[in-house]
Structure 1
Amino acid sequence: MTANELRSKYIEFFKSKNHVEISGQSLIPENDPSVLFTTAGMHPLVPYLLGEKHPAGTRLTDYQKCVRTGDIDEVGDPSHLTCFEMLGNWSLGDYFKKESIAYSYEFLTSPKWLGLDPKKLSVTVFAGDESAPRDEEAASYWKENGMPEDKIAYLPASDNWWAAGPTGPCGPDTEIFYWVGEGLPPEGSNKGTDSKNWLEIWNNVFMQFNRIDEKTLEKLPKQNVDTGMGLERTNCILQGKTSVYLTEVFQPIIKAIEALSGYTYGTDEEKDRSVRIIADHERAAVFIIGDPKGISPSNVGAGYVLRRLIRRAVRHGMKLGIEKAFLAEVAGAVIDNFKCAYPELETNREKICRELTAEEDKFRITLKKGEAEFQKLLPNLMKNPKKIISGKVAYNLYETYGFPLELTQELGAENGFTVDTDGFKEAERKHQEASKSADAGQAKGGLAEQSDVATKYHTATHLLQQALINVLGDQVAQKGSNINNERMRFDFTFDRPMTKEEIQKVEDIVNEKIKEDLPVTMEIKTLEEAKAEGARALFASKYGEQVKVYTVGRDVKNDWFSKEVCGGPHVQHTAQIGDFKIQKEQSSSAGVRRIRAVISGGLPLENS
């Protein structure tokens, strides 16, 4: 079974269980400052997991591209990926543990679907602690479906408890594993007794509780199910492969790397690792740049992560002996391999190749600067009688200039130095811990960052976009936005800096509409109906047949100021927003401008 077939079968199965297919979302989260990228299928569904009604109903399914960079340095082994696809299904206050577990078991083991050997499956459930009991309910449903007792591991909250944050929605989960060891798993073997030979393929999260404080949980009035199956890992298992890189998901990309490097994959483990890193990072970079809300390499935020991925790929290309710019050529293999499932990659082919080549050329210049910096350090280094370059110095060259450790070792050796590699690894470990802590904190924030202030900012972006169109013309189109409780950032297409007069005029229009206290209403329509009424739908998603249309300013004559397809949340009337002030207008990237603005005051939200 190919990845394309697996993707289709998953959607087909859940449609047969009365789920509605919705389309995956952008890799760049809209109005969610808690994450740099969409790291899980649940992120675009945050408002609905919090109780907002979804236009497609209470049973949903989709496939979603994701990027996670917390363990970027583990990429290169047979299973870790930066960019991956998640297959998901959701129950929004509909079915719960019994049906969720039955669906998962049927899809995995039924000959009509995946037909996996039940003897090679095991699961984990929550073991219980002082705040919540052991999840005997989930375990009993697994047993009902045929899971033997010795294949059920009861693990602590660190393994089998999901939480939005310190407070808020949370609950136990159950994870599903497949045996990747030799033959059949021995009696008593499960994830709890043998972590090496069991590979996680699916996770079902049961949003059962609301955490009031550290020791207090209350049951949620509406309990949700959020699941995610890793497409690449499951595809690997179905094909009997030992690595995701041996499947058709990666093989065309690897073939392109082989052609450029002259190296044959599978003949040297260290070089194989470089090939895997290039393949993963290249795919991630292509998906990020080619996204409908795609970004460019930069020194901050998601742009910095993209830059790091590209530069790491270039370094490993050099290790394989590739001296010329090569990323654009490999990108062609990625685009050709995924354009059917993600047509935006073909649409943005030229942009992807242009951005990759520009960044690669820039990095090769940076490497030369790093070499020059090393030469500057050399006189001081020569004063060290032990002729050792400290790990801290080596890591600073790497972190600041992207200068690889092996190049520092090579240059050092030419001058009689050795490098403290243990010290380098320690400096790297401390940096990774800091990154992972920040990444974990961000990932947990997805549901917790929904606030009244953010809701006000969200509606303000609608007013701002329409005001920009009124002042600058129809060439204006939203390219992205980012909101937190302190400010909003709004990116839009425009080919020159705005004048002071234009900025003031836009600000005045937004404040005028806020003072008019216009109503904000929502209707559920088909996307075609919404567009026919003039609704803007730049990032519209196909929520089955229905979308939410938010209108600002409808009156008895059906006049309105703004109409957009959007998931929400929004204020009920514009006076709730408060005073609007543009702080800065600047360039974001070629042909894209960025506005930073703040709001203050405003009426309280109703039902908040």
Structure 2
Amino acid sequence: MTVHDLRQKFLDFFKEKGHSIIPSASLLPENDPSVLFTTAGMQPLVPYLKGQAHPMGKRLADVQKCLRTDDIDEVGDNRHLTFFEMLGNWSLGDYFKEEAIGWSFEFLTDRRWLDIDPKKLYVTIFEGDNDAPRDEESMGIWQAQFETQGIAANIGEAGKDEPASGTEGPRIFLYGKEKNWWPGAKTKGLCGPDTEIFYDTGRPHDRSYGEVCHPNCDCGRYVEIWNNVFMQFNRAEEGGSLEILPNKNVDTGMGLERTAAVISGKTTVFDLEVFQTIFRGLEQLSGKVYGSDEDIDRSMRIIADHVRASVFAIADGAVPSNVQAGYVVRRLIRRAIREGHTLGINGLFLQTVANVVIGEFGVFYSALETKRQEVLDALKEEETKFRETLEKGMRELEKMMKGGDMTGEKAFILYSTYGFPVELTEELVKEHGQHVDRLRFQEEFKRHQELSRTASAGMFKGGLADDSAETVRLHTATHLLHQALRNVLGDHVGQRGSNITKDRLRFDFSHPQKMTPEEIQKVEDQVNDVIRRDLPVRFEIMDMDEAKKVGALGFFEDRYARMGGKIKVYFVGDEERGYFSKEICGGPHVRRTAELGLFKIQKEEASSAGVRRIKAVVMDSGA
């Protein structure tokens, strides 16, 4: 089964179960400064899990693009990825445990869908503690499901009882909050027990991880493929007691690549066809063969993963730069280039790999095809710049070696000043009988990281889950700013990203040059005039064609158009006095513009090529 087969089967299954299929949100979180990228399937749906009505109803299913960089240095082994897709089905106060567990089991085992032997499946549930009771309900539902297949699902104790090998024996295992509770043991907000589904790969147990294997054993025999989270509680404050929710939600997640690999009998995710296609392209470029050498495999995996992640990120607006999301993309690209150098690839090659990625994924993610040239141009520009950087670094490295041994401090200067990878420094100085003091390099690197963290402390506050009055006011102010910029500068202005904390808004928009002081003042005056007029703010639920007919702005509309889903269009103003703005948005917003108080632009600056950035605040009108 390919990832494309699994992705489509999942969506078809839940569509039959009455779910609306919603598109993936952008990798750049909309108005969520708590993270640089969308890292989980639930992240874009937090407002709806908290009670806001979703325009597509109470039953939803999607495939969410995700990007995590916590383990970026581990990519190259047989399992780590930066970019991945997460399948999810959601109940917003509709169905609960009975249906969620039943449908999970049906999708996995029914011949019409994945046709997995149920004897290969094992589940975990929350064991209970002084804070919350054991999840007896999920236990009973699972036992009933397995019983339909002639399997007696007994309860086992992790690390003590051997999991069942046939139709009898332990199949359900109990764990505490560290394994079967979301989001965290004492975390504030919506929370609840979860039940995870594991697949038995049949690999021999590694006893270095314990005498007896179990679903959460780190030896890797059992692989988690699906997680059902039951949000039935709310914790009002960090570490506080739990309150039972009147409306309970279901939040599920299935990693697309991991599941496709496991049920296809692949040893690693890199054995999947989507990666093998990229490897074949790299073989032609390098003359090397994937699978012939561990170092070659590592380099090709890094290139495949990093270019795939970069293609998706750039298509969503994360242009390579020296700050925030753009910096992560730059790092991914440069690491891929370095591995290309290791493979002996001469000349520019990222565009070739990117075309393979777009060819594989463009059918489902139409924005990749739409923005193909934009992505290719960004990669070519970055690769050209970095090769020039490498040349400068090479000259500096030669000077340093003439001045004595290559120290860890010198290697860090090459890395921090010239962007010269330490691995490449090590490779080159080795040819001259020298070596880099990696320990000293790491000390310098960590010191630099600490300084960076200190400098950016407090940058990521609030977030999508922050629906405070301050963030809601700033969200509405962003709409007014967007329209005012178009009125003053022209219709070429379009949103390229936004970021809101409780203290300020940041808005990126397309414009070729620096704004004049007069233009900035005109924009600010227009926004404040709309605030002064106290116009109503309301929304209507429409489809994309209806939104276009009424003239609503929507610069990320491809994510909705692909699925043909319902959307919210927010109107500022009314028919009698005229509408100031109409824009596609998930909300939330104030009810009248006078609630914003006073709007003030603090800064206008460059963000990237052809993109400007405004930082602004709202304050009480008397301030």
User: How high is the TM-score relative to the length of structure 1?
Assistant: 0.90
Whether the 8 Å contact between 1:56 and 1:546 is mirrored in structure 2 is: yes
Match of 1:554 in 2: 574
Whether the 8 Å contact between 2:27 and 2:67 is mirrored in structure 1 is: yes
Is structure 2 residue 200 aligned with structure 1 residue 179?
A: yes
- 1:404-442 Cα deviation digits (max 9, x unpaired): 333333444455433334555677789899999999x99
Work out which of the residue numbers 315, 324, 330 in structure 2 matches 1:290.
Answer: 315
CA 67–508 in structure 1, closer or farther in 2 if over 3 Å, else same: same
Match of 1:158 in 2: 178
Match of 2:596 in 1: 577
**Superposition map of 1:396-475 within 5 A:** 397-421=414-438, 448-475=465-492
Work out which of the residue numbers 392, 396, 407 in structure 2 matches 1:389.
Answer: 407
C-alpha separation in 2, matches of 1:307 and 1:458: 29
Q: Which amino acid aligns with 1:246?
A: D
Q: Which amino acid aligns with 1:126?
A: F
- 1:319-341 Cα deviation digits (max 9, x unpaired): 11113111111111111111101
- Unmatched 5+ residue regions in structure 2? 147-152, 156-169
C-alpha separation in 1, matches of 2:324 and 2:581: 30
C-alpha separation in 2, matches of 1:188 and 1:113: 33
CA 361–33 in structure 1, closer or farther in 2 if over 3 Å, else same: same
Work out which of the residue numbers 283, 288, 301 in structure 2 matches 1:276.
Answer: 301
- 1:303-361 Cα deviation digits (max 9, x unpaired): 00000000110111111111311111111111111110111111212121111111112
Work out which of the residue numbers 232, 243, 255 in structure 1 matches 2:257.
Answer: 232
Displacement of 1:156 = 3.0
SS at 1:564's partner residue? strand
Q: Which amino acid aligns with 1:308?
A: R
Match of 2:159 in 1: none
Whether the 8 Å contact between 1:169 and 1:211 is mirrored in structure 2 is: yes
- 1:374-432 Cα deviation digits (max 9, x unpaired): 455557755xxxxx834x65456445544333333344445543333455567778989
C-alpha separation in 1, matches of 2:448 and 2:251: 32
- 1:38-97 Cα deviation digits (max 9, x unpaired): 112222212111100111110001112111111111111222111111111100011122
Match of 2:271 in 1: 246
Displacement of 1:247 = 1.5
**Superposition map of 1:28-43 within 5 A:** 28-43=28-43
CA 582–152 in structure 1, closer or farther in 2 if over 3 Å, else same: same
Q: Which moved more, 1:334-343 or 1:523-532?
A: 523-532
C-alpha separation in 2, matches of 1:436 and 1:106: 47
Displacement of 1:20 = 0.8
Match of 1:92 in 2: 92
- Unmatched 5+ residue regions in structure 1? 383-387, 604-608
Whether the 8 Å contact between 1:394 and 1:424 is mirrored in structure 2 is: yes
CA 35–478 in structure 1, closer or farther in 2 if over 3 Å, else same: same
SS at 2:578's partner residue? coil
CA RMSD of aligned residues (A): 3.0
CA 227–432 in structure 1, closer or farther in 2 if over 3 Å, else same: farther
Q: Which amino acid aligns with 2:176?
A: P
**Superposition map of 1:135-150 within 5 A:** 135-146=135-146, 147-149=153-155, 150=170
Q: Which amino acid aligns with 2:370?
A: T
Q: Which moved more, 1:401-410 or 1:88-97?
A: 401-410
Is structure 2 residue 335 aligned with structure 1 residue 312?
A: yes
C-alpha separation in 1, matches of 2:255 and 2:495: 31
Match of 2:555 in 1: 538
- 1:446-471 Cα deviation digits (max 9, x unpaired): 55433211111110111111112222
**Superposition map of 1:276-355 within 5 A:** 276-291=301-316, 294-355=317-378
C-alpha separation in 2, matches of 1:185 and 1:423: 35
C-alpha separation in 2, matches of 1:238 and 1:515: 60
Work out which of the residue numbers 583, 589, 596 in structure 1 matches 2:615.
Answer: 596
Whether the 8 Å contact between 2:47 and 2:465 is mirrored in structure 1 is: no
Whether the 8 Å contact between 2:494 and 2:510 is mirrored in structure 1 is: yes
Displacement of 1:26 = 1.3
- 1:159-209 Cα deviation digits (max 9, x unpaired): 222238942112222222212233899997432345421222222222222
SS at 1:151's partner residue? strand
- 1:278-314 Cα deviation digits (max 9, x unpaired): 00001001111122xx221111100000000001101
Whether the 8 Å contact between 2:204 and 2:221 is mirrored in structure 1 is: no
Whether the 8 Å contact between 2:31 and 2:464 is mirrored in structure 1 is: no
C-alpha separation in 1, matches of 2:7 and 2:450: 34
Work out which of the residue numbers 216, 219, 228 in structure 2 matches 1:204.
Answer: 228
SS at 1:309's partner residue? helix
C-alpha separation in 1, matches of 2:510 and 2:467: 27
- 1:214-267 Cα deviation digits (max 9, x unpaired): 141112222211111111111112322112212121121111111101001000
C-alpha separation in 1, matches of 2:436 and 2:509: 48
Q: Which moved more, 1:339-348 or 1:132-141?
A: 132-141
C-alpha separation in 1, matches of 2:534 and 2:144: 57
Displacement of 1:445 = 6.8
**Superposition map of 1:19-30 within 5 A:** 19-30=19-30
Whether the 8 Å contact between 1:119 and 1:185 is mirrored in structure 2 is: no
Match of 2:533 in 1: 516
- 1:578-603 Cα deviation digits (max 9, x unpaired): 21111222232333222221111269
Q: Which moved more, 1:123-132 or 1:505-514?
A: 123-132
SS at 2:267's partner residue? coil
Match of 2:72 in 1: 72
C-alpha separation in 2, matches of 1:503 and 1:101: 55
Q: Which amino acid aligns with 1:351?
A: E
User: How high is the TM-score relative to the length of structure 2?
Assistant: 0.88
C-alpha separation in 2, matches of 1:81 and 1:443: 24
C-alpha separation in 2, matches of 1:43 and 1:444: 15
SS at 1:370's partner residue? helix
Match of 1:221 in 2: 246
CA 95–5 in structure 1, closer or farther in 2 if over 3 Å, else same: same
- State the number of aligned residues: 593
Match of 2:161 in 1: none
SS at 1:280's partner residue? helix
Q: Which moved more, 1:445-454 or 1:425-434?
A: 425-434
- 1:546-581 Cα deviation digits (max 9, x unpaired): 2212111115x3722111121001011111112111
